[in-house]
Amino acid sequence: MMSRDREPRPVFRLPWRTTRALERDFDEELAFHRDMRFRDLLGRGIAPDVARAMVDAETGDIEAARRDVVTSDRRADAATERRHVIDQLFQEARHAARRVRAQRGFALMSVATLALGLGACLLMFNVVAAVLLSPLPYRDEQRVIMVWQYVPSLDLGDREQPLGGQELRLMHTTVPSFQAVTGFRPRALNLGSGADVERLDGIEATGEFFDVLGVRPELGRFFTRNDEVPRGDRPVVISDGLWRRRFGADPAIIGRALTLDANRFVVTAVAPPGFAFPRGPEMPAAFAFPPRADAWIPIAPPRGGPDELAVAARLTPSATLAEARHELDGVRDAMLRIYPQGKGFFGTLAVPLRTQLIGQSDRLVLSLLAAVGMLLVIACVNAAQLQLAQLHRRRREHAMRAALGAPAWRSLLGSVLDVLIVSLLAGTAGTALAAAGFRVVREQLADRFPLVANASFDSRTVIVAVLVTTAVGLVAGLAPGLVTAREPLADSLRGTGRGVAGRAGAERVRRALIVVELTLAIALVTMAGLLGKSLTRQVRSELGFTAPHGITFDVTLPISRYPERQGPTYMEHPLGAAFITAALERIRATPGVDAAAMGKPLPLSGSQEFSVFSAEGLPTPSGGTLRGADYTFASDGLFRALGTAILAGRDFTSVDREDGLPVVIVNHSMAKWLWPGQSAIGKRIKLGGLTNGGAWMTVVGEVADLKRYALTDTTRPEMIVPYTQRPYPSFATLQFVIRSRLTPAELRSAMQRAIGQVDPTVAVSHMSTIDELIDDASTSARFAAGWMSVFGASALLLAMIGLYGVIAYSVLERRQEFGVRRALGASTGQIIGLVLREASVLCAVGAAIGLVVAFGGGEAMRSFLYGVSAYDAPTLLGAILALLAAAVAAGVAPAWRAARVEPKTALEG
Amino acid sequence: MDLLQGTLDLLVLRALTWGPMHGYDASRWIHDRTGGVLVVEYAPLYKALHRLERDGCVTGKWGVSENGRRARYYRLTQRGRARLKSEDADWRRYAGAVFRVLEPA
């Protein structure tokens, strides 16, 4: 150890001596010795041949000695080399740490820049990991598929339509690819009664529901096909959440009797924690599945009645999706034979479960991931810029070291270590930033993307963080290092940077880098602008209803007490209708309520009803398929309560009783579609085909189009019928809308009181303001636009910092030139203009290339854009102006400094 | 007279306290100093030198000899000096002990 301090450290040595070289050394050493001895002996007058013999005798066993020396020298060499390299690494690391400390401002800026880029990247990676890479909590999830009916000839918005009990029974028997198959639908339940009544979101499912999903109960046993037909007490499976909330996690819950919708059920199982299949946001809107179910009850595949089952199936281990699809075509053909007319137009759609659950969100998060990738590149370029400036400042030192024989790799190593230290700090800060950001994301997306709601900031992200951080350090450190390493030594040694070739080279690289930065920045700003504009367009779009003071809530009638009856052409709900009439009376009588109505489904409530119909006097469309339109059943006053304009005719009134003239109200799209250029009032339509025995309904009103499902919907034809005449298809869950200046809290108790007076077993649920509904409907858009703006603004800021660095440095380098200009009479304004022009030129080049990138980005995001083109000129212009402003802002300070250069500087050297 | 086991390192280190020298000089020095009693064979000598170099007791460097030939010069390091000191003391104690045994009582 001591020797290391005393002995001169070799600046450079061959890292390795070969065996040959070692042998040669040894031989040469020995030969020298023998020769000296030989001469010595000769000098004493000994005869040459005697002398040679003596030398040989004195030498000893050369071969053994050589072997010994060479092998152990080799080993020692290797060890020394290792120690040497490690020593040098430590030495460089110490130097690097010292340099970073000495340049605290520079380091802080690099760390902040990289932390921002890395943080954004890790955040989005974690979101991607949560949404796309996390396994679903179902056994062999890739074997689980969803099966839908789709109706190719109709525009139904959602492609996925429900199937009926008949199809389900056929699938049980004629689809060998299915190991298990189940049909399920939402079923709201009222638990308990009186003041204690609680509305539960439930699911009715056929026996193989849990077999399809492959989950195990936390307690008890799940129902099977044997439980489909009730024998004695009916089984119910409750969620882990309900078990803990309502029953205090009672381990003796199994076998406990519950009153659901005034019927006796027995708890047979508790679902595992987190299990809530199917979740509303992951299923097509038409099904109105609740956000998370709390109870599951078995049903037999329904006979007759409307199709309203969602179907899921588990494939056998050997079956492929293609085989399943082929066999499902057989089901369609069989149905065709049973219903040659009625169902002739349907097909089946088989979708892997994961695709179903994720939907379009993969494209959204991947777009954002691409965006943060760009941000990271900008951050790297900035770090590289800073490093380049740093190296440029230190090029004299480097040149000196090189001249003294330091190998190029040591300079490079130093440069890489500088950035590695910086990037490690940045990686730590970035990871913290990303973890904090993810908490925000989870908050924002919890309702919409349950996969994100359950995700944490996970270890994969940390691994990626380490890898990316290191890679960034290597790239940002190596690239500038390589550039400087190529600089001619003499130029660098001259030092002041007036060596033309060297400066021009480095300058070119810096300019190219800043153009890359500006290019990406403008692309990001443009994409943020597009998404922002799209969001504005969405929430300001013509909704067809108004938000202020609007409040909606649900009420679920227990089917057992409000039985449906198969009427001649539709389901009859006499008790349900009476409930609505009585409830509306009470609600309207509540002080503070300005207007109230029932409508199902209400706009943005996440559900959809649809019906085929025929119009009097219009030919059936070619191909024999029927026309279809959205279907709403409503009370009078719905349009007043929603703030929807009645364009012609009248609202429903008390005249529209069951025994009165059957009436219907159509929306503007429907009127325009069926009777263009004519008044719709007085025209007649009927549900189903022309030969259907149902009654003709006379159009009595035309109303403005309503945005029903999503803010981005193009409005579709819709018919609205009075609940007093055509209650189709189900009254199970009713929706009310009221206008009131009361707070939601005041309203909740007032409404529960009003409803309770009509029926104490019925609960008010899902109360929300119309503003909240609009917010929920724009979750994805707000998420995308919000984060993209954050990323865009960061990109702009980073580009500004980068541009500032380049301009400031260039001004510093050209001090003398400015001095000369000043001496020759250039005004302050002229010099400022000169510098700003430099910034603007860079900016213009960046903008030109950036727009091309932005076009690509806009194209990729097309499906998220609403009411704004991917090539929206104002947005592009805005992005360019923002960038120009940033460029000028970045250039002003250096320009001012340039203008203040004293003319005498021209004489300095 | 052949060398006793383990004494070669000591002799070489001692020789090098006179300054950097090549193997031949070292062997001459030992030879002259002992009046030609101790003869160092070349092969073991170079084994010893390389071993000492590996141990960090000497450093070897190629240089040019007085007669203009390439020769490897060895120089004592700090560690070599320390080693010499301790081996010197060991040897003296050992030799003293042997003398005392041989001394007529």
Closest CA to A527 of A230, A876, A108, A231: A876
Q: Do A7 and B59 touch (CB under 8 A)?
A: yes
- Higher per-residue pLDDT: A459 or A555: A555
- Higher per-residue pLDDT: A15 or A162: A162
Cα A168 to Cα A206: distance, rounded to the nearest angstrom: 10
Q: Do B78 and A26 touch (CB under 8 A)?
A: no
Confidence of residue B89 (pLDDT cuts 50, 70, 90): very high
Contacts of A30 in chain B (CB under 8 A): 42-43, 46
pLDDT at residue number A497: 44
Look at the block and give the residue holding tokens 């919907």. Answer: A713
Region of poorest pLDDT, from A117-121, A591-595, A863-867:
A863-867
Contacts of A8 in chain B (CB under 8 A): none
pLDDT tens, position by position, B31-54: 888 888 887 888 888 888 988 988
Report the relative pairing of strands A663-667 and A697-703 from DSSP bridges: parallel
Count of CB atoms within 10 A of residue A384's CB? 27
Q: How far is the alpha carbon of A93 from chain B, nearest alpha carbon, in Å? A: 26
> What sign has the CA pseudo-torsion A179, A183, A187, A191?
negative
> In this complex, which of B46, B69, B79 lies closest to A30 when CB atoms are compared?
B46
Query: B18, B29 in Cβ contact below 8 A?
Result: yes
pLDDT tens, position by position, A254-287: 989 888 887 889 999 999 988 888 887 778 766 7
pTM of the model: 0.67
Closest CA to A426 of A789, A130, A796, A121: A121
Q: What is the ipTM of this complex?
A: 0.89
Q: Where are the alpha helices (DSSP H) in A814-827?
A: 815-823
Q: Which of A340-349, A393-402, B95-104 has the highest mean pLDDT?
A: B95-104
Q: Which of A73-87, A214-228, A447-461 has the highest mean pLDDT?
A: A214-228
pLDDT at residue number A86: 84
Contacts of A6 in chain B (CB under 8 A): 77-78
Region of poorest pLDDT, from A514-523, A622-631, A790-799, A847-856:
A622-631
* Residue to substitute from B50, B57, B74, interface A, most A β-carbons within 10 A: B50
Confidence check: pLDDT of A6 > 60: no
pLDDT at residue number A703: 94
Residues 24-43 of A with CB under 8 A from B: 25-26, 28-30, 32-37, 40
- Higher per-residue pLDDT: A652 or A712: A652
Give the chain B residue whose CA is nearest to the CA of A74.
B54
Cα A761 to Cα A168: distance, rounded to the nearest angstrom: 33
- For range A142-166, the mean pLDDT: 75
Q: Provide the β-strand partners of residue A764.
A: A555
Cα A357 to Cα A82: distance, rounded to the nearest angstrom: 55
> In this complex, which of A6, A32, A64 lies closest to B24 when CB atoms are compared?
A32
pLDDT at residue number B80: 92
Q: How far is the alpha carbon of A53 from chain B, nearest alpha carbon, in Å? A: 14
Confidence check: pLDDT of A569 > 50: yes
Tokens linked to A666: 């159509």
* Count of CB pairs separated by less than 8 Å, A with B: 73
Region of poorest pLDDT, from A220-229, A498-507, A584-593, B51-60:
A498-507
Confidence of residue A194 (pLDDT cuts 50, 70, 90): low
Contacts of B28 in chain A (CB under 8 A): 40
- For range A387-398, the mean pLDDT: 72
CA triplet A462, A376, A485: central angle to 5 degrees?
A: 105
- For range A23-28, the mean pLDDT: 85
Region of poorest pLDDT, from A275-289, A567-581, A869-883, A886-900:
A567-581
- For range A749-769, the mean pLDDT: 87
Contacts of B47 in chain A (CB under 8 A): 65, 68-69
Q: Do A30 and B42 touch (CB under 8 A)?
A: yes
Tokens linked to A415: 């440069």
> In this complex, which of A32, A65, A76 lies closest to B54 when CB atoms are compared?
A76
pLDDT at residue number A534: 85
pLDDT tens, position by position, A441-486: 888 877 766 677 777 777 778 888 888 878 877 877 777 666 665 5
Confidence check: pLDDT of A529 > 70: yes
Confidence of residue A812 (pLDDT cuts 50, 70, 90): confident
Q: Do B42 and A36 touch (CB under 8 A)?
A: no
Q: Do A32 and B70 touch (CB under 8 A)?
A: yes
Three-state secondary-structure class, residue A900: coil
Region of poorest pLDDT, from A480-484, A560-564, A818-822:
A480-484
pLDDT tens, position by position, A683-724: 999 887 766 667 889 999 999 998 877 777 777 889 999 988
pLDDT at residue number A498: 44
pLDDT at residue number A619: 78
- For range A164-183, the mean pLDDT: 90
Contacts of A17 in chain B (CB under 8 A): none
Closest CA to A448 of A555, A540, A349, A365: A365
Closest CA to A520 of A356, A372, A729: A372
Express as a percent the part of chain A with pLDDT over 90.
16
Confidence of residue A742 (pLDDT cuts 50, 70, 90): confident
Three-state secondary-structure class, residue A663: strand
pLDDT at residue number A636: 93
- Higher per-residue pLDDT: A216 or A420: A216
- For range A811-840, the mean pLDDT: 84
Chain mean pLDDT for chain A = 82
- Higher per-residue pLDDT: A238 or A229: A238
Q: Do A76 and B77 touch (CB under 8 A)?
A: no
Q: Which of A295-304, A399-408, A778-787 has the highest mean pLDDT?
A: A295-304
pLDDT at residue number A573: 73
Tokens linked to A359: 């939907």
pLDDT at residue number A306: 66
Region of poorest pLDDT, from A237-246, A647-656, A818-827:
A818-827
Confidence check: pLDDT of A490 > 60: no
- A69 at B interface, C-beta within 8 A: yes
Contacts of B50 in chain A (CB under 8 A): 26, 69, 72-73
Give the chain A residue whose CA is nearest to the CA of B65.
A32
> In this complex, which of A6, A58, A69 lies closest to B46 when CB atoms are compared?
A69
pLDDT at residue number A503: 58
Contacts of B78 in chain A (CB under 8 A): 2-3, 6
Residues 637-696 of A with CB under 8 A from B: none
Q: Provide the β-strand partners of residue A769.
A: A551
Closest CA to A639 of A715, A728, A549, A544: A544
Look at the block and give the residue holding tokens 């450093």. Answer: B59
* Residue to substitute from A1, A2, A5, A36, interface B, most B β-carbons within 10 A: A36
Tokens linked to A624: 């024999």
Contacts of B65 in chain A (CB under 8 A): 32
Express as a percent the part of chain B with pLDDT over 90.
28
Confidence of residue A343 (pLDDT cuts 50, 70, 90): very low
- For range A579-593, the mean pLDDT: 92
How many angstroms separate the Cα of A111 from the Cα of each of A382, A511, A522, A730, B104?
A: 10, 22, 23, 61, 83
pLDDT at residue number A29: 86
Confidence check: pLDDT of A7 > 50: no
Report the relative pairing of strands B21-22 and A684-687 from DSSP bridges: unpaired
Count of CB atoms within 10 A of residue B91's CB? 16
Give the chain A residue whose CA is nearest to the CA of B67.
A36
pLDDT tens, position by position, B1-13: 667 767 888 999 9
Confidence of residue A197 (pLDDT cuts 50, 70, 90): confident
Confidence check: pLDDT of A499 > 50: no
Tokens linked to B5: 């086991």
Q: How far is the alpha carbon of A414 from chain B, nearest alpha carbon, in Å? A: 29
Q: Which of A105-119, A357-371, B80-94 has the highest mean pLDDT?
A: B80-94
Give the chain A residue whose CA is nearest to the CA of B55.
A76
Cα A368 to Cα A350: distance, rounded to the nearest angstrom: 29
> In this complex, which of A6, A7, A58 lies closest to B42 when CB atoms are compared?
A58
Look at the block and give the residue holding tokens 């401002």. Answer: A105
Give the chain A residue whose CA is nearest to the CA of B73.
A29
Q: How far is the alpha carbon of A27 from chain B, nearest alpha carbon, in Å? A: 10
Confidence of residue A501 (pLDDT cuts 50, 70, 90): very low
Phi, psi (rounded to 5 degrees) for A730: -150, 145
Query: A145, A315 in Cβ contact below 8 A?
Result: yes
- Higher per-residue pLDDT: A563 or A215: A215
- Higher per-residue pLDDT: A450 or A9: A450
Q: Which DSSP string corresponds to A160-217?
A: -B-B-HHHHHHHHHH-TTEEEEEEEEEEEEEES-GGG-EEEEEEEE-TTHHHHHT---
pLDDT at residue number A500: 44
**Residue A824 C-alpha from the chain's centroid:** 59
- A81 at B interface, C-beta within 8 A: no
Give the CA dihedral A304, A307, A308, A313, nearest 10 degrees. 100
Does the N-terminal peptide bond of residue A619 adopt cis geometry, omega within 30 degrees of 0? no
Q: How many CA atoms lie within 13 A of A661 on its CB side?
A: 11
Give the chain A residue whose CA is nearest to the CA of B78.
A3
Closest CA to A637 of A730, A714, A701: A701
> In this complex, which of A34, A40, A72 lies closest to B54 when CB atoms are compared?
A72
- For range A642-658, the mean pLDDT: 90
Phi, psi (rounded to 5 degrees) for A834: -60, -45
Look at the block and give the residue holding tokens 């260039």. Answer: A810
Q: How many CA atoms lie within 13 A of A815 on its CB side?
A: 15
Closest CA to A526 of A240, A185, A282, A855: A855
